[in-house]
Amino acid sequence: MAKIKDTGLIQDEPLIFEQGGKGRKGYSLPRWDVEVAEAQSLIPTQLLREELIGFPQLSEVDVVRHFTRLSQWNYGVDSGLYPLGSCTMKYNPKVNEEIVKMSGFSNIHPYTPEDLSQGILKLMHELQSFLAEITGMDEVSLQPAAGAHGELAGMMMVRACLEARGERRKKVLVPDTAHGTNCSTSTIASYQMVEIKSNEKGVIPSEKVAELMDDEVAAIMVTNPNTLGLFEENLGKIAEVVHRKGGFVYCDGANLNALMGILKLGDLGVDVVHINLHKTFSTPHGGGGPGAGPVAVKNELAPYLPIPVIEKDGEIYRLNDDRPYSIGKMRAFYGNFGVLVKAYAYILSMGAEGLKRVSEMAVLNANYLMKKLKGHYHLPYDRPCMHECVFTDRFQEKYHVSTLDIAKRLIDYGFHPPTIYFPLVVKGALMMEPTETESKESIDRFIETMVQIAEEAKEHPDLLRQAPQRAKVRRLDEVLAARKPKLRWTGNQ
Ligand SMILES: *Cc1c(COP(=O)(O)O)cnc(C)c1O
């Protein structure tokens, strides 16, 4: 007999391979009125498997309970506040999921000819123009499948444009507050990365950029708002400095829920920007599902956009492959088309005013959280933030309590922990993003819990160091997991 490990309603659940019994089935068929034929007489014997080793044999209720129980161990935006900074784990309207399921969208085949896909192409073309309007750019490609993929497309266009000018530049400037993907992108696009140090206000001074900027620099990659949740207030000046020396300005616009309807990045001199539809535009981020990272450019970079480009010719939409300067295809098909439909539906249903309100609420909520936690946790950059704020564990250090302990204790109180130890420029960072869809009560509950944890750190630091206690699993041995990863099921052990 297996030891009973359930506590209350937190049910334990073995692997599906450990359940069921020989011959148990999830169906029952009516008695047949035709002659029974053995599989061997219908299928060539070399294609028949004698035995499916370890294949689970379960009833319908076994299967339903298995997956329902597993789903109950999950924490998602539908279960509560999910303050994971840099990820925008906000609530996304369910109606947009329903729209994606409409058969005209969900049954479209990648090889459907252009003249039978006019509605689809129209939707994509219009979504492109919405995104161009929101970012203040001239043209958009929906091809990149994620934020990092959009960055790569952007930097490849920069490279192609410079090469067309006969220039082979070698370096890309990346601030220490940039998202980690910016460093990877510049490296994968074969550039040498040069780091710019942010100043005591947490932003990049244009003088620093001027010092580093020369005709070897292809571009600067700026995350705005940066990973400290701060607005890069010198971006306009920085763009002038970079342009004067013939470079390009790449803006990482993954966190657009801080800016929509308030500021157009194109107005600040940005030449190319990517957008994460799976953060701001009604697809959850980090769900393991598909995303989309459209890239928007100014006219100068438009000839280099990935092919095919969706063009409108009178009332007809076309996919144009005949673009001699294009960087080529970023991928073969739009398997993530549903993400585009949700973004389209979201933008239309919110309208310009609604999108602006999203940004205002995202920024208001983050500043409210920041003000209320200030004093309980160390705030390294004490100034108004955008859609997220960054604290540290410095006040808790003297009780030998760390950022990790604080994050784990939050689990005991039923919250998903914030992003921790990122951005790297802040030691012991706790990066929190409440998002625009949380009510005041829900943010207040989170604040109360954070304050209580700060008190516990003083009086009962052990509680934090041993957290989580009320979760399905206790603290994991992360060193062991990294050194000896268990990647495959090897039977009952
Ligand atoms: C999320 C994020 C990215 C990366 O997006 P992916 O879709 O995960 O590749 C890049 N930059 C910033 C600022 C982000 O927040």
Q: CA nearest 377: which of 362, 364, 392?
A: 392
| pLDDT score for 280 | 96
CA 149 – ligand 1 centroid, Å? 9
Q: What is the mean pLDDT of residues 8-13?
A: 73
Q: Whose CA is nearest to atom 3 of ligand 1?
A: 147
Separation between Cα atoms, residue 123 and residue 247, nearest integer Å: 34
**Amino acid identity of 404?**
L
- 3 state SS of 37: coil
* Percent of the chain as helix, strand, coil, to the nearest 5: 40, 10, 45
**Does the CB atom of residue 305 touch ligand 1 within 6 A?**
no
Q: Is 468 left (phi over 0), alpha (psi -120 to 50) or beta?
A: beta
Averaged pLDDT, 137-146: 97
Count of other CB atoms within 10 angstroms of residue 96: 19
Tell which one of 86, 87, 174 to mutate to probe ligand 1, the residue whose CB is within 8 A of the most ligand atoms: 86
Nearest residue to 395 via CA among 375, 415, 414, 409 = 375
User: What is the rounded distance in angstroms from the CA atom of residue 488 to the CA atom of residue 490?
Assistant: 6
pTM: 0.90
The DSSP H or E segment spanning 370 is: helix 337-373
Position 491 scores a pLDDT of 56
Any atom of ligand 1 within 6 Å of the Cβ of 274: no
CA distance 176 to 197: 6
Compute the average pLDDT of residues 56-85. 92
Look at residues 9, 119, 111 and name the one whose alpha carbon lies nearest to residue 68: 9
Helices and strands counted in the chain (H then E): 15, 12
Q: What is the pLDDT of residue 72?
A: 86
255 Cβ closer than 6 Å to some ligand 1 atom: yes
Best residue among 149, 276, 279 to mutate for probing ligand 1, ranked by most atoms within 8 Å of CB: 276
Largest distance between two CA atoms of the chain:
86
Cβ atoms of residues 175 and 198 within 8 Å: yes
Extract the tokens encoding 137. 């750019």
Ligand 1, pocket-test mutation among 179, 330, 435, most atoms within 8 A of CB:
179
Q: Looking up tokens 């062991």, which residue turns up?
A: 480
CA of 185 to the centre of ligand 1 (A): 11
**Span 418-477, pLDDT tens digits:** 999 999 999 999 999 999 999 999 999 999 999 999 999 999 999 999 999 988 888 988
Residues 366, 433 contacting (CB under 8 angstroms): yes
For 370-419, the pLDDT digits (tens) are 999 999 999 999 999 999 999 999 999 999 999 999 999 999 999 999 99
- Is the pLDDT at 179 greater than 60? The verdict is yes
Q: Is the CB of 135 under 6 A from ligand 1?
A: no
10 Å CB burial of residue 182 (0-12, 13-18, 19+) is buried
Residue nearest to atom 15 of ligand 1 (CA): 86
Confidence label for 1 from pLDDT (cuts 50, 70 and 90): very low
Per-residue confidence (pLDDT) for residue 284, from 0 to 100: 86
Q: Output the pLDDT for position 493.
A: 45
Fill in the amino acid letter for 444: D
Give me the mean pLDDT over the 129-144 stretch. 98
The two structure tokens encoding residue 281: 């535009």
Q: Is the CB of 146 under 6 A from ligand 1?
A: yes
DSSP of 272-295: EEEE-HHHHSSS-SSSSS-----E
Helix (H) or strand (E) holding 448: helix 440-459
Q: Which is nearest to 447 in space by CA: 400, 378, 377?
A: 377
How many angstroms does the Cα of residue 417 sit away from the middle of ligand 1?
A: 19
C-alpha 165: how far from chain center: 35
Give the mean pLDDT of 51-72. Answer: 90
Half-sphere exposure of 327 (CA within 13 A, CB side): 25
Task: Indicate whether residue 266 lines ligand 1 (CB < 6 A).
Answer: no
In this structure, the number of other CB atoms found within 10 A of the CB of residue 463 comes to: 16
CA 151 / ligand 1 centre spacing (Å): 9
Q: Are 321 and 259 in contact (CB under 8 A)?
A: no
**Which letter does DSSP use for residue 378 in this model?**
B
The ligand 1 atom nearest the CA atom of 149: 9
Confidence of residue 39 (pLDDT cuts 50, 70, 90): confident
Region 262-285: what's the mean pLDDT?
96
What is the model's pLDDT at position 7? 60
Domains and CATH numbers, the chain: 16-73 (no CATH), 95-349 (3.40.640.10), 355-481 (3.90.1150.10)
**Does pLDDT of 248 surpass 90?**
yes
Is the pLDDT at 3 greater than 70? The verdict is no
Which residue in 54, 220, 237, 61 sits closest to 151, CA to CA? 220
Q: What is the pLDDT of residue 29?
A: 86
Pocket-testing residue among 184, 252, 419, ligand 1, by greatest number of atoms within 8 A of Cβ = 252
For residue 45, what pLDDT is reported?
86
Rounded CA gap, 343 and 294, in Å?
11
* Percent residues over pLDDT 90 in the chain: 83
Query: DSSP characters for 240-283?
Result: HHHHHTT-EEEEEETTGGGTTTT--GGGGT-SEEEE-HHHHSSS
> What's residue 9's pLDDT?
66
Q: Residue 259 and residue 269: Cα distance in Å, rounded? A: 15
Neighbours of 86 (CB within 10 A): 25
Quote the mean pLDDT of the chain. Answer: 94
> How many angstroms does the Cα of residue 462 sit away from the middle of ligand 1?
35
Mean pLDDT value across residues 219-226: 97
How far is ligand 1, taken at its centre, from the CA of residue 177, in Å? 13
DSSP-assigned letter for residue 190:
T
Look at 3-12, 233-242, 342-351, 352-361 and tell me which has the smallest mean pLDDT: 3-12
Question: How do residues 75-128 score in pLDDT, each as one tens digit?
Answer: 888 889 999 999 999 999 999 999 999 999 999 999 999 999 999 999 999 999
**Cα 122-125-129 angle, rounded to 5 deg:** 135
Cβ–Cβ under 8 Å, residues 173 and 196: yes
Q: Does residue 326's CB lie within 6 angstroms of at least one atom of ligand 1?
A: no
Report the SS3 class of residue 480. helix
Whether the per-residue pLDDT at 13 is higher than 80: the answer is yes
Confidence of residue 263 (pLDDT cuts 50, 70, 90): very high
